[in-house]
Amino acid sequence: MRICLKINHMALSPELIRKYNQPVPRYTSYPTVPLWDNQLSTQDWENTVKTAFEQFGKEEGISLYIHLPFCENLCTYCGCNKRITKNHRVEDPYIEALLREWEHYLGVLGSAPKIAGIHLGGGTPTFFSPESLEFLISKILKSADLAENFEFSFEGHPNNTTWEHLEELAALGFDRVSYGIQDFDEKVQQAIHRTQPFEKVKEATENARKSGYTSINFDLIYGLPHQTIDTLAHTFKRVQELRPERIAFYSYAHLPSAFPAQKSFENHLPQEEQKRALYEFGKSKLLEMGYEEVGMDHFALPNDPLCLAKKNGKLHRNFMGYTTLPAKMLLGLGASSISDVWIGFAQNEKRIETYQDLVKNHQLPLIKGHILNEEDLEIRKLILDLICKGKAEVPFWIWDKLPQKNRQALEDFEKEGLLKLQNQYLTISSSGMAVVRNICSNFDLRMIENQEKKAVFSRAI
């Protein structure tokens, strides 16, 4: 017996916001990082990478995530792994380490791979000079082939993404850029230490289009200090002027125990119901502007490949969010980066100097990982289908394995109008997408068995 789940979209009542605003994973992976078993040797990981490459990587190609962790200034809201410095002499030794790590993986793969995608993340990738980025990417590309429909993208800071950055990367095949905007209100920007005038964002956006970039994404965040409906209205008015192809509208994750700089503004954060109202307002503005909801946090114009992938049932989600790339293999290069080869995960050493030393000594700089068993793989597919397609077939063994508490939770969803159970089908109502993370967590057998680790996740709403 299989149970089919379908998801539609609408808003939540204040009572349900209070009930479901609990710590739950964002499900950029399954199992989520805090629940990996971490019994992973270098040899285990190399064997897993080799197996994945032989099974599907050779045909599909592989993607690369390259973590560039340096920033000149601290954005106090940020939860990324970063190093604050104005010393650009750090660029050369870090790039040397990245290339050494890539060379190690080439040895593991045994033959030149096809590159289906490259994403430069951070930190601030445009901290690096255009010449440094050109050197890094060209070296990688010379050692590999290109997949037919490759997709190269990078994250740019509007304040330091120059015309030269855009031109140099475009010449290498990059045609997608994501700008970290967060909010256009000056008071909000000052509170999170992310001051960037609208004119700089406009210049960076227009320069990208002039350089041939076909997709521009704006990262926006709701739930920031001093945000109100009025300030958000101003932000979306500015967004409408520039009309990027994609919008990522993220919930601010407040984790001051892990990121102490967040304590500087925590007395000015909107409360639960206020925060959800900010999201509903922002979503309504995006829909008015002609964007379509792709999935959790993500919106795109109707003719954007993300929208088309969703309509065609080909949307995928990984550590970078939603993607259209078919490649199941994602190798992470750089400090703290995460690799996902579908049948296994691994994360690199977070400390930059330690990472560089390990790679210099011809070691993969791994600190944790997880090899998925058959149960993990089925649940992973279930959760991905829920988040990407809005529907999934649930193998009966998963349903049968759920504790009574989780079955009761699903029955509660039904009583609250979030789910409808009929025969062997479970349909999520129009307000259910707001709690899709909560819904997925009821099928998360790893978390069910490790409830004490639940508090490490950000809140759902």
- For 176-202, the pLDDT digits (tens) are 999 999 999 999 999 999 999 999 999
Beta-carbon contacts of residue 138 (< 8 Å; ≥ 6 apart): 172
Residue 424 pLDDT > 70, yes or no? Answer: no
Per-residue tokens: 287:
């829909």
Residue 267 has a CB neighbour count (10 Å cut-off) of 7
Share of the chain above pLDDT 90, in %: 75
pTM of the model: 0.94
Share of the chain above pLDDT 70, in %: 96
pLDDT band at 10 (very low <50, low <70, confident <90, very high): low
Residue with more model confidence, 453 or 259: 259
Q: How far is CA 405 from CA 174, 375, 430, 437, 448, in A?
A: 48, 20, 24, 17, 10
Interacting residues of 156 by C-beta distance below 8 A, sequence separation 6+: 125, 126, 165, 177, 178, 179, 180, 204
**Is 253 annotated among the ligand-binding residues?**
yes
- The secondary structure of the chain in percent helix, strand, coil, rounded to multiples of 5, reads 45, 25, 30
Asked if residue 89 belongs to a known ligand binding site, the reply is no
Query: What values do phi and psi take at 215, rounded to 5?
Result: -140, 120
Note the pLDDT of residue 319. 84
**d(Cα 262, Cα 73) in Å, to the nearest integer?**
15
Residue 194 assigned to a binding site = yes
CB within 8 A of 249, min separation 6: which ones? 220, 221, 222, 279, 282, 283, 286, 297, 298, 299
Q: State yes or no: pLDDT of 432 exceeds 60.
A: yes
Quote the longest CA-to-CA distance of the chain.
64
pLDDT at 296: 84
Mean pLDDT of the chain: 92
pLDDT for residue 172: 97
Question: Using one digit for the tens of pLDDT, what is the confidence trace for 287-341?
Answer: 999 999 998 889 999 999 999 998 888 888 888 888 888 779 999 999 999 999 9
Q: Binding site annotation covers 388?
A: no
Strand arrangement, sheet containing 344-348: 292-295, 298-300, 246-251, 215-222, 174-182, 145-156, 114-122, 62-68, 329-333, 338-340, 344-348, 366-371
In terms of pLDDT, which residue wins out, 31 or 460? 31
In CATH, which of 3.90.79.10, 3.40.1000.10, 3.40.50.300, 1.10.10.920 is domain 2-27+373-456? 1.10.10.920
Q: Give the start-to-end residue ranges of the domains of the chain.
A: 2-27+373-456, 36-371
pLDDT tens profile 367-404: 999 999 999 999 999 999 888 887 888 888 998 999 99
Average pLDDT over residues 44-68: 97
Over residues 341-347, the mean pLDDT reads 97
Cα separation, 133 vs 256, in Å, equals 33
Residue where the block lists tokens 């049968």: 400
What pLDDT does 2 receive? 44
| 80 is an annotated ligand-binding site residue | no
Is 122 annotated as contributing to ligand binding?
Answer: yes
Q: pLDDT tens digits for 92-136?
A: 999 999 999 999 999 999 999 999 999 999 999 999 999 999 999
Task: Check pLDDT > 70 for residue 276.
Answer: yes
Give the CATH architecture of domain 36-371: Alpha-Beta Horseshoe (3.80)
User: pLDDT value at position 6?
Assistant: 47
146-171 pLDDT, tens digit each: 999 899 999 999 999 999 999 999 99
Q: What is the CA radius of gyration of the chain?
A: 22
Is 124 annotated as contributing to ligand binding? Answer: yes
Q: Is 57 annotated as a binding residue?
A: no
Determine whether the annotation assigns residue 3 to a binding site: no
Contact status, residue 322 vs residue 315, Cβ threshold 8 Å = yes
Q: At residue 66, does pLDDT exceed 90?
A: yes
Q: Is 338 annotated as a binding residue?
A: yes
Residue 201 pLDDT? 97
